[in-house]
Amino acid sequence: KQSNITFNLTIILIIQSILFVYIMPPPVIEPPPILPEIDEELLEYLTKPERLPIHDYERNQEFWPRKPDPTKLFHYDFSPLSTTLKVQRDMNTGEIIEFREVPIQNVGSTSRNSTLLTRQPAPPSEALWGGISNVPFWPAGLSDPTEGLPLKKEALTKNDLLVIPPGFKFGLLFEDDGCRVKEKIDKSVELQVKQGNVVNLLDILNEQHFSGLWETVEKSPETDHSQDVQLQTSELPEEKDVLSQAVTKDVPLLKISEFEKKKVRNLEWAVNLDTSKPVKDFRERIPQMALEYEFELDTFQKLAILQLEQHNHVFVAAHTSAGKTVVAEYAIALSQRHMTRTIYTSPIKALSNQKYRDFKKKFNDVGLVTGDFQINMKGSCLIMTTEILRSMLYAGSDVTRDLEYVIFDEVHYVNDKERGHVWEQVLIMLPAHVCVVMLSATVPNTMEFADWLGQIYQRKVYVIKTAKRPVPLQHYLYTGCGGASRNNRYLLLDHNEVFRIAGYNEAKASLAKPKEHKASGPPQRNYNPKQEQYMWNGLVDHLSRNKLLPVVAFTFSRNKCDQNARSLRHLDLTTAHEKHYINSFFNRCIASLKPPDRDIPQILDMKEILSRGVGVHHSGILPIIKEMIEMLFQGQYIKLLFATETFAMGVNMPARTVVFDSIKKHDGQSLRPLLPAEYIQMAGRAGRRGLDETGTVIILCKVNLHPVEDLKRMMMGKPNQLESQFRITYGMVLTLLRVESLSVEGMMSRSFREADHQKKMSQIRTKLETVSKNLEIENRHELNEHMQPLVKFYLTVRTFLDYHQDLMEQIVITPTMQKQLTTGRVILITHKSHVNKLALILTTPSKSSDLYRVLVLTDTGSSESDEKSDNYYKMLGLASDRVYYPENSCSHEVLKIKPEDIFEITSAMINVEYSFVISDWDKRQIPRFKDDPPSERCKFAVQELLKLTMNVSDKSNANRLTYLDMVVKDLDLHKCLLEYKKLKEGLIDCISSTQIPNFEEQFHIVFKKKSLEDEEDDLKFQLSYESMSLYPEYERRIALLKELNYINSSNRGKISVIPDVSAVVGIAL
């Protein structure tokens, strides 16, 4: 029984365990908390705030109770003191005698309110870039706002001024204005001149344009010729003004008879320095140079350095690789000697980087400022692009204070349509104390550009031009295709610039005949990639055998550059030593990159091709790779470089040979041949100075031979002139409107675009004064009431004539009117005193002349008088419908007229040999043949014209001459003709007022007065800003900015933050 109980209990326990394991859930075991429990801590913070750390007063130093005072919130900045105390000391003992209160100049001038250089410095954070709210320093290119203000009256007159110091017998002599000191006169020399013994030439001894022409009598004749130096600015005195009598040995003598005067073209503000004669006294004039050179300087370099020493503006125009960098280096050395700063500007970043490496080798304190990174921003020489310098000038950078020289490299880049306006803005915005050094390739109008710069700076600009190329070039045509034709290179233009047509003919004969195409059209000689590779292999082998490596192959396509480099992977142009250097140099340069960046496909591909001496340089290459390629090419490790046009932009990397893959480029609008300036810029990279006697330029002729006219024009043509690309940008407008004393109109008027107009300003002002005086005399006699209808007639005719002139200039060039205005057509003209005359057209306008030559009838013995203006006679002609008829015996004359002189086109034609009529007239204009009778053909033309005139003059004749209607197909011109017709109808309504006795006499009085008023208004308009060519565009931009609420209606209100930001962001707009 007990055992049964035990068994039962066991069974129950087993069942319970099974149920517990399989049926009953296990007990929940919570995991340990990740964060500590904070409930108790939060409860303590809430219930016991006195335990918080803020109530731990034991850690406080001390507590002072205070009472609130709202009046302390009222704060304003006091104006700075306008005076200061100056100590006056005893010069012997140094003791203080007294204190004097002296005024402080430019009190309160800051970078926010003043354009003066003496204003307070900006914060250090704005020292380089300036600030958004800063105003620029006063530009040298803009007129001083204090000009024209009345001078402050002084209590003392010039007679009351003490000019003789105590103990002296003589003192200073002032001019009539009481400010300028009269030039000193050497009394002893003046006495000698009066005695007639010598001529005083000492006053001009120190004149730089007579330097080098002097010598004493004691020198031998052999040394006379050595002192013959370039006459730089003005002409020598006349020989008759030099007394050739007894001359003492102590007085220098000017060798006028031995000096050959060379005519140099100088302008008002531009001085052309002659580089044809050496500067033999260079060392005497500069005994200690700021930078010494191991080689002998060229003449143009010496002339430029002489002007830099005198802090003059310099414009150097020379060929590529001629040595213009020497001038820039000397300017940097001078600024470091003077403890000032220099800014070197370049058009592209590649040139900035290359110049930084070059200048860093010669000068320690050099900085580089680009949009990507900045190096040594406090350096004495900063290298940057022109856009960055413009931003600094507009933002009022304090770097401008310390500037002595600003060097503009590649100034011919001013012709660039997109960025050329930046150069003009910077040249205008630079302060007056800055010396401008401009370096450019040879351009035809350097004098005009320098004269414009001198005009806005009111200082002379010295122009130094040299056409001498240090390494002459030889230009070849290459027609090889590889294989046997790999040596097909033919000389086209030799080093003496002699064009060899024989070489062109040989190249033409060597071209392989293309296969005839089955389709119609001219045969072509196409190159597929395989043939292109074969051609390059043959060319490189030819250049290598003739020792013409390294070579730069200019290709005007980035894809083509990459494709050519990839196709020449098997080419190996480097030695084992060069490969080792290239690989080690490449690895050192990319070591700064992150490991993933070192495996970029472009880096891996470039490492492979560089090791074989082949490189690629274009805008698609990474900047670090591009810089490595430039350095390797300078070190002569790259033998073949495929590059685009940007590689030739000022980068000093000459090669032995330059190859043009094509002489046509796409400029964004069309495919065109290279301009002479573009070709010369790239071809100038051929020839290494000191290494090569000549540079080799090769033009590939793959498809066909280029026309000989295109080759001559490209190789021997003149480069394009410097032309203004100035334009109005929104950033410039907003920036200048922030400064009350500056104006956009002033900037526009000083641009190179308006240079010619600015030169005429003085003449216009003089003419305006004369016209105003004449008009004042005429206004003394008022026009009577009965002359008012004539005044109305004058105003109506004047409007009609202005419209007629503009319309005829557009109509005569239309195809329809050109068919009507042919030789033999009879027209009605009014030209000077030839009023309402029928004229026979003898010649029509051509490219050389835009004038018509016509035959008209005249009275025998009549002479043309030009006392009255042409408009006066035109008004007389419109006042009458009577056609001229010779009253006495008839004569004739051949005139040159403009389209505006034509008032009607008749339906009549006269057939005659017009060339014989003109030649006969021109012959009789020669005094020798003046009395010869007219030829028969000329008489026939005169008689026919006389018959037509008689028919028109006879009012009873029913067959009077009819006039043709002006028919045009252009819709705009048609609208102009309708307006022209309305003006003509209004003119007919006023003709009745001219039917009065003595009309011509009375109308002459009205015409004289009203024409003077019109002339005065026109002259005033020419002197105003509205006459500028860009003023309409400026008005449109101002209207848009007003609509966007960037500026207020007065144009001079306070500008909000949005325009300030736009002025910085939108400077390039």
Q: Which residue has the higher pLDDT, 399 or 26?
A: 399
The 10s digit of each residue's pLDDT in 780-836 is 888 888 888 899 999 999 999 999 999 888 888 888 888 888 999 999 999 988 999
Give a yes or no: residue 373 inside a domain: yes
pLDDT in tens, 895-941: 999 999 999 888 889 988 888 899 999 989 998 888 888 988 899 99
One domain for residues 194 and 243: yes
Stated length of the chain: 1069
Task: Provide, rounded to the nearest whole percent, the portion of the chain with pLDDT above 70.
Answer: 80
Domain CATH for 666: 3.40.50.300
When pLDDT is averaged across residues 959-983 and rounded to a whole number, the result is: 78
The string of pLDDT tens digits covering residues 187-211 is 444 444 444 444 445 444 444 444 4
Q: Are residues 281 and 213 both part of a single domain?
A: no
**Residue 658: φ, ψ to 5°:** -120, 130
Residues 342 and 227 placed together within one structural domain of the fold: no
Mean pLDDT of 1028-1045: 89
Residue 658's SS3 state is strand
Whether 378 is covered by a domain: the verdict is yes
pLDDT for res 61:
64
Residue 772 has pLDDT above 90, yes or no: yes
Instruction: Give the torsion through C-alpha atoms of 980, 983, 984, 987, to 10 deg.
Output: -160
Q: Where is the domain boundary, 659, 693, 716?
A: 716
* Whole-angstrom distance, CA of residue 688 vs CA of residue 656: 6
Residue 541 CB coordination number (10 Å):
15
Q: How far is it, in rounded angstroms, from Cα 244 to Cα 198?
A: 8
> Which amino acid, one-letter code, is at 357?
R
Is residue 687 one of the residues assigned to a domain? yes
Q: What is the pLDDT of residue 370?
A: 86
Highest-pLDDT range among 7-11, 156-160, 607-611 = 607-611
> Residue 381 belongs to what H/E stretch?
strand 381-385
**Residue 221: is its pLDDT beyond 80?**
no
If asked whether residues 735 and 833 sit together in one domain, one would say no
**Whether the predicted pLDDT of 231 surpasses 60:** no
pLDDT confidence band for 224 (50 / 70 / 90)? very low
In a domain, 840, yes or no: yes
Q: How many CB atoms lie within 10 A of CB 338?
A: 15
Classify burial at 559, counting beta carbons within 10 Å of its beta carbon; exposed 0-12, middle 13-18, buried 19 or more: exposed
- At 987, the pLDDT band (50, 70, 90 cuts) reads confident
Residue 148 has what pLDDT?
A: 55
pLDDT at 1017: 93
pLDDT tens readout for residues 28-84: 666 666 667 778 888 887 888 777 777 666 666 666 778 888 887 887 777 778 889
Same domain, 478 and 458: no
Residues 893 and 846 in one domain: yes
Rounded to 5°, angle at Cα 432 from 427 and 436: 50
Residue 632 is predicted with a pLDDT of 92
pLDDT at 253: 45
Residues 447 and 491 in one domain: no
Q: How far is CA 513 from CA 501, 516, 596, 663, 705, in A?
A: 21, 9, 52, 22, 12
Taking only the tens place, the pLDDT of each residue in 583-606 is 999 999 999 888 888 889 999 999
The pLDDT tens digits for 374-397 are: 899 999 999 999 999 999 999 999
Q: How much is the mean pLDDT over the chain?
A: 81
What DSSP line would sit under 935-951, residue for residue? Answer: PHHHHHHHHHHHHHHHH
Q: Give kind and range of the element (H or E) at residue 735.
A: helix 730-737
Residue of 233 and 940 predicted with greater confidence: 940
Examine the domain organization and report whether 461 and 477 are in the same domain: no
Torsion of CA 289, 293, 296, 302, to 10 degrees: -40
* Residue 699 in domain: yes
Per-residue pLDDT at 1069 exceeds 50: no
At residue 205, the pLDDT reads 45
Instruction: Examine the pLDDT at 979 and tell me if it is beyond 70.
Output: yes
Q: Are residues 542 and 669 in the same domain?
A: yes
Q: Are 477 and 696 in contact (CB under 8 A)?
A: no
Residue 125 scores a pLDDT above 90: no
Q: What are 610-635's pLDDT values in tens digits?
A: 999 999 998 889 888 988 998 899 88
Together in a domain, 799 and 833: yes
What residue type is assigned to position 1019 of the chain?
A: L
| Residue 68 within any structural domain of the chain | no
Task: Quick: pLDDT tens for 722-748.
Answer: 899 999 988 888 888 888 888 899 999
CB-CB contact of 305 with 327 (8 Å): yes
* Average pLDDT of the residues in 325-330: 94
Of the candidate ranges 267-271, 615-619, 666-670, the one whose mean pLDDT is the lowest: 666-670
pLDDT confidence of residue 328: 95
Q: How confident is the model at residue 304 (pLDDT cuts 50, 70, 90)?
A: very high
615 close to 641: Cβ distance less than 8 angstroms: yes
- Cα-based angle 474, 493, 514 (whole degrees, multiple of 5): 105
Total domains in the fold of the chain: 5
Closest CA to 228 of 207, 249, 258: 258
Domain-embedded: residue 78? no
Q: What is the pLDDT of residue 178?
A: 62
Residue where a domain stops, chosen among 465, 495, 519: 465
Q: How much is the pLDDT for 206?
A: 47
Together in a domain, 817 and 949: yes
**Dihedral pair phi/psi, residue 331, rounded to 5°:** -65, -40
Q: Which domain holds residue 1053?
A: 730-751+1030-1065
Which of 689, 716, 743 delimits the end of a domain? Answer: 716
661 found inside a domain: yes
Same-domain check for residues 605 and 683: yes
Q: What is the pLDDT of residues 17-32, one digit of tens each?
A: 665 555 555 556 666 6
Average pLDDT over residues 552-574: 90
pLDDT single digits (tens) 670-699: 888 898 888 988 898 888 877 888 999 999
Tokens encoding 610: 């560089």
Q: What pLDDT score was predicted for residue 532? A: 85
| pLDDT at site 225 | 41
